[in-house]
Structure 1
Amino acid sequence: MNIDWAALASVFGVSLVITVALVGLFTLGVTGLAKQVSTTRGGGGALARTGAYACFALCAAAVAYGIYLIVA
């Protein structure tokens, strides 16, 4: 059995970067919702909520694309 170490390292690197990016996006979404709750009295909550929903939508799109790649 012969292992292509370069391909394995490439898959590992891409998986690591995508995982960190998705976790970061989700964290930004949760933070945006938390700021939306804390700034409802001072205004500006709509912008935080919109940004949070955009982050969640990007996370959902990335997950859907990953499922599409697995199924196709």
Structure 2
Amino acid sequence: MQADGVTIVMVSHDIEFCASYGETCALVFDGSVISQGPARSFFAGNSFYTTAANRLARELWRDAVTVDDVIRRCRQESR
């Protein structure tokens, strides 16, 4: 759909879903956008509002945002 120029706006509290499927993410608080950016950097650079995978792995791999990212990095490290 992106190739056809279609934009989809999703609103969700499921940050794991947003990190996996979103291209751009934003945090809205009290009716105002307080943070926004590319999904991967949005979640990797956010200390409070981030994925569980990023909280667990950020000391090892700051850019690991999803569970799949952590699994991939673990497999790379074990080689």
Same fold at TM > 0.5: no
Q: Which has the higher contact order (CA 8 A, sep 6+)?
A: 1
Larger Rg: 1
* Structure with higher strand content: 2
- TM-score if structure 1 supplies the norm length? 0.28
Structure with bigger helix share is 1
